Structure 1
Amino acid sequence: MTTVDQAVFIGGRAGVGKTSVAMALHSLLAERRVRHCVIEGDNLDLAYPEPWEHELAARNLQAMWANYRELGYDRLIYTNTVSVLEMDSLAAAMGTNPVVRGILLTATDRSALERLSLRERGAELERHAARSNAMARILADQAPANVLAVDTDHKDIEQVAGEILLHLGW
């Protein structure tokens, strides 16, 4: 039996909980013995000087997915701030014509600042908060209509992951 690959691209501003939600989703799927992998997109091209003009993130995603696919994985959870804006190119990088779903995690500026303050300090906190606020507006304006927005305010990570799991039907 041939399976159809599936990918969920989780995007959202800094401080919204993308990585935490992906890890909670991973735990839920593992409890259900659902075969899947998680890739943190920010790590695919984290280098200095920035290698963005070389499409290193897409190349690394292609290589990693090929390795997972060879081992029989057919579901991908991928996190990156702008992943919901780049779903077509990310799916193309996978090379297996996956069924794609986009999830945009949202939070108020205040909630994002509170979460960012747990990991950033001083000028770095100010810089991250400003970028997060600007990115929230861009994502809200540019996310495709088929992307599901999931509010993370006043919810714990497991609740958010559960909402996503229901949407995915995995």
Structure 2
Amino acid sequence: MPEALLIGGRSGSGKSTVGWEVSALLGAAGIVHAYVEGDTVGNIVPPPADDPNRSRITETNLTAMWANFARTGCARLVYTNTASVLEPDMFERALGGSARLTPVMLTAGDATVAARLGGREIGSELESHIKRSSFMARYLDENVPQGTIRVATDGRTVTEIAREIVAATGWS
């Protein structure tokens, strides 16, 4: 049965950075896995008229990607995306009908997020990213499924956070 680690959280919570560190730790331990940045899987602009949230294109692309990974013998997926923890059914379908999912939601306070986003959003959209991040923090907090592991990222090293998450998967 395939397994997926879903790393979600508001913008600026550290999903991508932590995802790459989780992948590095798993790789160093010899654990075969695929790492997918979810933001790229359904990124079509503008979104299709019949798929305004890009959910169908995301699932279709992830299903195709997973089929290719699985063909190589890969049975584990690390996936980062803001709302990934809200979509367990999509991951089960994309991974072949059933999967063992470990949903993790990264959390970070407003000051931490503003500093992180300010360091990477050097264009005209910083303010809109901060507003969306604040909205998603509240939305995720209210809507994540029971059993989602919450991991605070404020004031912690990336390696410390990644080790906690790898331990939660039971993969090592």
Instruction: Tell whether the structures are fold-level matches, with TM greater than 0.5.
Output: yes
Kindly report structure 1 stretches of 4+ aligned residues shifted beyond 4 Å: none
Alpha-carbon deviations, 1:3-24, whole Å to 9, x = none?
A: x211011100001110111100
Give the C-alpha shift of residue 110 in structure 1: 0.9
Contact 1:5 1:96 in 2 (8 A): no
Contact 1:104 1:147 in 2 (8 A): yes
Contact 1:37 1:73 in 2 (8 A): yes
Distance across 1 between alignment mates of 2:156 and 2:150: 14
Contact 2:91 2:99 in 1 (8 A): no
Distance across 1 between alignment mates of 2:33 and 2:97: 15
Query: Quick one: which amino acid aligns to residue 130 of structure 2?
Result: A
Structure 2: gaps (5+ residues): none
Give the C-alpha shift of residue 88 in structure 1: 1.6
Partner of 1:130: 131
Partner of 1:87: 88
**Matched residue SS, 2:119:** coil
Structure 1: gaps (5+ residues): none
Question: Percent of counterpart pairs with the same letter?
Answer: 40
Query: Quick one: which amino acid aligns to residue 21 of structure 1?
Result: V
- Aligned residues: CA RMSD: 1.3
Partner of 1:101: 102
Report whether the alignment pairs 1:58 with 2:59: yes
The 5-angstrom pairing of residues 146-161 of structure 1 reads 146-161=147-162
* TM-score where L is the length of structure 1: 0.94
